[in-house]
Amino acid sequence: MKQAIVFSIEEFSVYDGPGIRTTVFFKGCPMRCNWCHNPEGLSQKIQVVKAPNGCLHCGACEKICAHKDGCVACGNCISVCPRGLIRYSGVAYTTKELFEKLKKNSDYLKQAGGGVTFSGGECLLYADFLHELIPMLKEIGVHTAIQTSGYASEADFMKVISVVDYVMFDLKVMDREKAIEYTGRSNEPILRNFELLKKSGVKFMARTPLIPGVTDTEENLTAIAEKVKNSGALGIELLPYNKMSGSKYTMVGMEYHPKFDEKSEVNANVELFRRYGIQAKIM
Ligand code: SF4
Ligand code: SF4
């Protein structure tokens, strides 16, 4: 039985695919997008995280900690916090355990025209797990979707594409050098997997986070439109930059350093896509 680390399961989501959905956030991501608003999803390891607000500065957590040079997630500080601000992030599930949990809402999800969406982090890090779990959900009539950066080996990508019903595929930075600078990775595997998706016959939606001066430039949006036009995509969803992105970094002991002007307004150029005959909407 395969295992995966999950850091959140959100119910009644209306932004993660068709209808009302349960969204599962897997822990771990190979990319390092400079604007990431979910730093809990970066590390694949189970972590101990501290809520950013409400601390009494009582010092109890520091006093009990025997690993001040680096947290080992022993959990000793969790029980001593009088405000309950400290918790584990990440729960290990077998496919059967996660299936049983998701099954509980399956009737409701079906009636609501929704289903289950696997997100992250990067859900394709758990390709074998999904290859086992998705057919179990489909067997009981639950629609399945993934949200992915597209950054995965061809084999892992095809393993999941061969079973899932619907794909939300990110196209972020089309210039290779800029992709490396702002996402920590080349976009070559992403663009290769996008071509595989086009040929697969699986329904898909392109998605672009609008990051001021990075992804929302005319040049980048035009390159995305060129890629999406005639691709078979149902359309493109544009996700304006979340100005709260930095707020969760202290929770995981990280600092947020945006390399762009986060106060600028984003260029949500829906018209540009419409000129290419692409259905575009701002999320
Ligand atoms: S979980 Fe808490 S007590 Fe344990 S090593 Fe990390 S910070 Fe220290
Ligand atoms: S134990 Fe809780 S309240 Fe006290 S310093 Fe640590 S996080 Fe703050």
Instruction: Look at residue 23 in the predicted model and tell me its pLDDT.
Output: 98
- Residue 25's DSSP bridge partners are 8, 119
- pLDDT of 246 reads 87
CATH topology of domain 3-46+90-282: TIM Barrel (3.20.20)
Q: What is the pLDDT of residue 172?
A: 98
- Position 245 scores a pLDDT of 84
pLDDT value at residue 165: 98
Q: Rounded to two decimals, what is the model's pTM?
A: 0.94
Atom of ligand 2 nearest to the CA of 51: 7
What is the crossing angle of helices 95-103 and 127-139, to 10°? 40
Per-residue pLDDT of the chain (283 residues; tens, 9 = 90+): 799 999 999 999 999 999 999 999 999 999 999 999 999 999 999 999 999 889 999 999 999 999 999 899 999 999 999 999 999 999 999 999 999 999 999 999 999 999 999 999 999 999 999 999 999 999 999 999 999 999 999 999 999 999 999 999 999 999 999 999 999 999 999 999 999 999 999 999 999 999 999 999 999 999 999 999 999 999 999 999 988 888 899 999 899 999 999 999 999 999 999 999 999 999 9
Sign of CA dihedral 122, 123, 127, 129: positive
What pLDDT sits at residue 137?
98
Interval between CA 81 and ligand 2 midpoint (Å):
5
**CA-nearest residue, atom 4 of ligand 2:** 58
Residue 244 has a pLDDT of 84
Neighbours of 155 (CB within 10 A): 8
Q: Which own/partner contact pairs does 271-276 have at CB distance under 8 Å and 24+ positions apart?
A: 272/218, 272/221, 272/222, 272/225, 273/221, 273/225, 273/228, 273/236, 275/225, 276/225, 276/226, 276/228, 276/229
Give residue 12's region: left, alpha or beta (phi > 0; psi -120 to 50): left
Atom of ligand 1 nearest to the CA of 64: 3
Q: How far apart are CA 159 and CA 118, in angstroms?
A: 14
Nearest residue (CA) to ligand 2, atom 7:
55
Which residue ranges make up each domain of the chain?
3-46+90-282, 49-86
Question: Which ligand is in closest contact with the Cα of 65?
Answer: 1
253 lines ligand 1 (CB under 6 A): no
What is the Cα–Cα distance from 20 to 9, expressed in whole angstroms?
14
Q: Within the chain, where are the H helices?
A: 60-64, 76-80, 95-103, 106-111, 127-139, 154-161, 176-183, 188-200, 218-228, 270-275
Dist CA 99 CA 105 (whole Å):
11
